[in-house]
Amino acid sequence: MRAIRRFTVRPVLPPALAALGELAGNLRWSWHPETQDVFERVDPVLWHSTGRDPVKLLGSVGRARLDDLAGDQGFLDALAAARADLQTYLTEDRWYQKRGPAGGPSSIAYFSPEFGITAVLPQYSGGLGILAGDHLKAASDLGVPIIGVGLLYKHGYFKQSLSREGWQQETYPVLDPDELPISLLREPDGSRATISLAMPDGPDLVARIWVASVGRVPLLMLDTDVEENPEHYVGVTDRLYGGNSEHRLRQELLLGIGGVRALRAYARLTGHPAPEVFHTNEGHAGFLGLERIRELTVDEAGPRLDFDTALEVGRASTVFTTHTPVPAGIDRFPRTLVEQYLSDAGPVPGVPVDRILALGAEDYEGGDGSVFNMAVMGFRLAQRANGVSKLHGHVSREMFNGLWPAFDEAEVPIGSITNGVHAPTWVAREVFELATEVGADPDDLDSFWAAADKIPGRRIWDVKRQLRERLVADARRRMHRSHEKRGQAPAELGWIDSALDPDVLTIGFARRAASYKRLTLLLRDPARLKRLLTDPERPVQLVMAGKAHPADDGGKKLIQAIVQLADDADVRHRIAYLPNYDIAMAQPLYPGCDVWLNNPLRPYEACGTSGMKAALNGGLNLSILDGWWDEWYDGENGWAIPSADGVEDTDKRDDLEAAALYDLIENEVAPRFYDVDEEGVPTRWLEMLRHTLKSLGPKVLATRMVRDYTQQLYVPASVNARRLNDDYAGAAELAAWKRRVRTGWAGVRVEHVESSGVGDAPEVGAVMSVRAFVALGDLAPGDVAVQLVHGRTTSEDELRDTSVTELVLAESYEGGRHRFDGDVTLDQSGAFGYTVRVVPRNELLVSPAELGVVALPA
């Protein structure tokens, strides 16, 4: 029978054990093994049966056991030490306070639709959420004052299981917030704090605010499951990436607009500094910029600025990160739907709907503006933008070049900061212990990778086998559960007890089952794959995982193909497809693999951080040169799968790249793994392993990533924003200057260019002098930069590998005409070309392309 009401009874801890609640309430335990040890001592069996979840553990342990622990001095000492360590971590000065760049912001708001912190808080679907979680954790470790903003989904993403036929099945278990390591934000009178958004089709949408403590970083999560809401509003935060376009639009309005309001409530109630910088992690939260404009233009408590001035205030302090390399990965809504929701009856009344629609309009490269593009709005609302690897930055500049059509791809104002991963979360405890055995400083990660050369090979190899053995045990448990759910009787599953082998070369592959990630590339030649798996001398085993979006039948077919191969009695002991890939599965998977496989269709992998996690655990990457691997592969830290770029036939391309992959495994990877010395240690393999740790360890860290964001984006954004926000005069001046430049740009022309100093046969070292005669119309020389753009030329006279030399004002004439002069030294032989251009110039611009206008010779 069903209960008519459900609620959670929280445990009452004895006073001596009160610190257990404090430790459970801060998610630092999820990456701090010593705190996990304390919880395990409470009840080792319960600790593992509850999925290593402190909140569930404390809710399940009996009163008698708690009383015993309250009298156990050894346990109390360990508990006190863990609490003291947490307090020190939360209060001491860290990198940002000690060595951080001058002028840093006092608070940075980081918005993301998903956050992967720990498996016990399942508010993530894949890479974007894991990246966001690692960003918060690394910021906490560094002391960077970030505050996260997201949504709390009642069902999270989904739990994946497999049918008897190997077809993905989804279930959506209900999450009880009272059983999660989060707490409600409350008003001084104890009532819950809420925010509301006006909706055009009914009453206000109301959301409560949950707070998760991610070390030093608070994470605010909005939840619409409140009694004030009608049923269709309750469902706004039902599940991650679910529903139709209107449902997704409501979620994104709540995330962006509601998220800013939640920040204001949190600052009011806790005294937390108001954010100086806003970071939009992908376009889902882009509506935050509209709320900030509303605050500045319409709100009675605000400065009542005009729209253009408010736009400049917001842009200066906003950072936008794009993660997708394909247009299909961007949220796009019908213009009419956005217009309906953002009319004066919507959540930002008074903000002109025509200006809102213009921000997201796909009105370039032949677009008719009928689609509202969240990434386009993200770029238009942020002065600083980046991709998540060098190659992805290039792809993004090409993909969005239409927003700045007057500029070549290289000058499109989208930079790149390569993603990183949070080592304390993903590196096995045993790997850290190896480094400390030879004197590495546990508080200095850089010293860990340098220690790789000091650790005896035998010791490294023994630990790697231990980690492989742990993965095999975990995989067998998951295989048992999966096959039982698929309808098989326990008597049929005896073979699983010997499936996989801790002494066999283990290749891992865990990806979202999107078509471009090519989950089944290894299946292009099943017979050859089977030979590799069952080779009597050098066998290979595969551990694979990943979810397909519930609406992606193509992705589900890819999973089914792998599962059907894994069911084949000839190879089922050598290949496992583990359902319901999540953080809990990933943590033994990465350390237990010898090789991490990634074979996307280049260049559609924006970054791909899973291989980074494997590398930090001594795994070698076997990957297409895409994402981060294109940037940091050096020929010694793994293998690059040749990519058949330019082959238009996708089947032929897959065949070519699959054959290259088989060749690498058969002729290079497996031979090196099984080439052992008299002690059974593969010395050449360990050379690559050591080099991997030293060459990639410092680069792939999330702490490096967050430092890069801080130094390259957050601090410059806060400096610019402060210059504009001082009584808003700077913003008003910048807005007025932009209007004047845009209005007057039609009168800007390069009328004539002269050069001298080089003859018919110029040589390296010659100095070329250039004079440019320019008409500026109503603009002044100080409004522009006149630039000599020079470099190599192609046979079609296209400039490549250009450099820019600014010309200086030499003379002014009547009618707004001026002469600009400059010199350039010819320092390279070969084809050389140049042109002159005029671009807007203002010290508050981040890029000369920011206004999207340029004047070139006719």
Cα separation of 639 and 633, whole Å? 8
Q: What's the pLDDT tens digit per position in 324-383? A: 888 878 999 999 999 999 998 899 999 999 999 999 999 887 788 899 999 999 999 999
Task: For residue 608, give both structure tokens.
Answer: 């791909």
Across 714-731, average pLDDT: 92
Which residues sit opposite 803 in a β-bridge?
A: 790
Neighbours of 674 (CB within 10 A): 15
Radius of gyration of the chain from Cα atoms? 29
Tokens of 159: 């739990």
The C-alpha atoms of residue 741 and residue 332 are separated, in whole angstroms, by 31
pLDDT exceeding 70 applies to what percent of the chain? Answer: 99
Three-state DSSP class for 583? helix
Residue spans of the domains in the chain: they are 15-91, 108-420+709-726, 431-695, 745-840
pLDDT score, position 7:
56
Model-wide pTM > 0.85: yes
pLDDT interval class at 831 (50, 70, 90) = confident
Q: Burial level of 265, CB count in 10 A (0-12/13-18/19+)?
A: middle
498: which DSSP letter? G
- Comparing C-alpha atoms, which of 687, 682, 684, 694 is closest to residue 461? 682
Report the SS3 class of residue 309: helix
CATH topology for 745-840 is Immunoglobulin-like (2.60.40)
Q: Burial, 481: exposed, middle or buried (Cβ in 10 Å; 0-12, 13-18, 19+)?
A: middle
Evaluate whether 412 touches 404 at the Cβ level (below 8 Å): yes
Q: Residue 800: in which H helix or E strand, if any?
A: strand 799-806
Identify the three-state secondary structure at position 602.
Answer: coil
Helix (H) or strand (E) holding 624: strand 620-624
Q: Which residues contact 428 (CB under 8 A, 6 or more apart)?
A: 467, 587, 588, 590, 591, 617
Chain-centroid distance of CA 846 in Å reads 23
Query: Do the domains 108-420+709-726 and 745-840 sit in the same CATH topology, yes or no?
Result: no
Beta strand extents in 561-719 (DSSP E only): 575-578, 595-598, 620-624, 638-641
User: Which SS3 state, helix, strand or coil, does residue 253 take?
Assistant: helix
Please give the backbone phi and psi of residue 15, each rounded to the nearest 5 degrees, phi first: -50, -35
Outline where DSSP puts E strands in 702-780: 749-756, 767-775
Are 719 and 436 in contact by the 8 Å Cβ rule? The answer is: no
Instruction: Please work out, in degrees rounded to the nearest 5, the angle formed at the alpha carbon of residue 515 by the alpha carbons of 555 and 386.
Output: 120
Give the confidence band of 287 by pLDDT, cuts at 50, 70, 90. very high
Cα Dmax for the chain:
97
Residues 799, 735 contacting (CB under 8 angstroms) = no
Name the residue among 213, 175, 184 with its Cα closest to residue 87.
213
pLDDT at 495 over 60: yes
Whether 277 has a pLDDT exceeding 90, the answer reads yes
Contacts of 328 (CB under 8 A, 6+ apart): none
- pLDDT at position 9 is 59
pLDDT band at 88 (very low <50, low <70, confident <90, very high): very high
Q: Quote the strand ranges of 366-437, DSSP E.
A: 371-373, 384-387, 415-416
Q: Which of 395-399, 448-452, 727-731 has the lowest mean pLDDT?
A: 448-452
Reduce the DSSP state of residue 855 to 3 states and report it: strand
CA atoms within 13 A on the CB side of 569: 4
Q: What is the mean pLDDT of the chain?
A: 94
What is residue 107's predicted lDDT score, i.e. its pLDDT? 98
Query: Residue 478 and residue 49: Cα distance in Å, rounded?
Result: 14
Q: Is the pLDDT of residue 74 over 60?
A: yes
- Per-residue model confidence as pLDDT tens digits over 567-587: 999 999 999 999 999 999 999
The domain 108-420+709-726 is placed in CATH, from the list 2.40.30.20, 3.60.15.10, 3.40.50.970, 3.40.50.2000, at: 3.40.50.2000
SS (H, E, C) 100-159: CCCCCCCCEEEECCCECCCCCCCECCCHHHHHHHHHHHHHHHHCCCEEEEEECCCCCCCE
- How far apart CA 715 and CA 276 sit, in angstroms, is 10
How big, in percent rounded to 5, are the helix, strand and coil portions of the chain?
Answer: 45, 20, 35
d(CA 114, CA 152): 9
Q: Give the bridge partners for 641, in sequence order.
A: 624
Give residue 10's pLDDT. Answer: 64
- Taking the C-alpha atoms of residue 252 and residue 307, their distance in angstroms, rounded to an integer, is 22
Residues in the chain: 858
Q: Is the pLDDT of residue 609 over 60?
A: yes
- In the block, which residue shows the tokens 């040749």? 642
Query: Pairing between strand 217-223 and 205-214?
Result: antiparallel
Identify the bridge partners of residue 819 per DSSP, sorted by sequence position. 773, 811
Residue 768 backbone dihedrals phi, psi, to 5 degrees: -100, 130
E-only strand ranges, 406-552: 415-416, 505-510, 540-545
Amino acid at 619: G
Tens digit of each residue's pLDDT (9 = 90 or more) over 403-448: 999 898 989 999 999 999 999 999 999 999 999 998 888 777 777 8
pLDDT on residue 11:
72
Long-range Cβ contacts of 294-298 (<8 Å, 24+ apart) = 294/348, 294/349, 294/350, 294/351, 295/260, 297/350, 297/351, 298/348, 298/349, 298/350, 298/351
Query: What kind and span of H or E run contains 194?
Result: strand 194-197
Instruction: Name the DSSP letter for residue 726.
Output: S
225-272 per-position pLDDT tens digit: 999 999 999 999 999 998 899 999 999 999 999 999 999 999 999 999
CATH 3.40.50.2000 given to domain 431-695? yes
Q: Please tell me the distance from the alpha carbon of residue 37 to that of residue 85, in angstroms, as a whole number.
A: 14
What pLDDT score was predicted for residue 8? 59
- How far apart are the C-alpha atoms of 381 and 360, rounded to whole Å? 10
Mean pLDDT to the nearest integer, 545-563: 94
Average pLDDT (31-47) is 97
Contact (Cβ atoms closer than 8 angstroms) between residue 473 and residue 578? no
